[in-house]
Amino acid sequence: MLDYFALGLLIFVGLVLFYGIIVLHDIPYEIAVHRNHPHQDAIHATGWVSLFTLHALWPFLWIWAMLYREDRGWGFGDGKSPQNHVLRLEQQVLELQQRLDRLEGTSAADERGEGI
């Protein structure tokens, strides 16, 4: 009786480990799906290949899946072109210059006694 229980337990543990490893290797693919990664299929296929290469590719898959975000694209940028970024900065400089001119005009009027 105890032999059958041990055999059943051994089969159960083996199945849990087998499917657990498969689920573990699908984590980069799930990240890619969540982030709407353009290389989802390649990440998924490489995850399966990683099972046969003793998991050597898995850390690189994780990095590959984490690099892309739909809102900002690749890397740490804001997802916009550098030209748009420069134009926005120039606009902010002009706005700040106008505010400074208004403030200087107000302080000059106050010095002359033309203020409130």
DSSP letters for 86-103: HHHHHHHHHHHHHHHHHH
**Residue given tokens 């990683």 in the structure block:** 50
Amino acid (one-letter) located at 103:
L
Inform me whether the pLDDT recorded for 33 exceeds 60.
yes
What was the pLDDT predicted at 115? 54
In tens, the pLDDT along 87-114 reads: 888 999 999 999 999 988 877 666 776 6
**Do residues 43 and 29 touch, judged by C-beta distance below 8 A?**
yes
Whole-model pTM?
A: 0.60
How far is Cα of residue 104 from the mean position of the Cα atoms in its chain? 44
- The domain segmentation of the chain, as residue ranges, is 1-78, 80-116
pLDDT tens figures, 39-67: 999 999 999 999 889 889 999 999 999 99
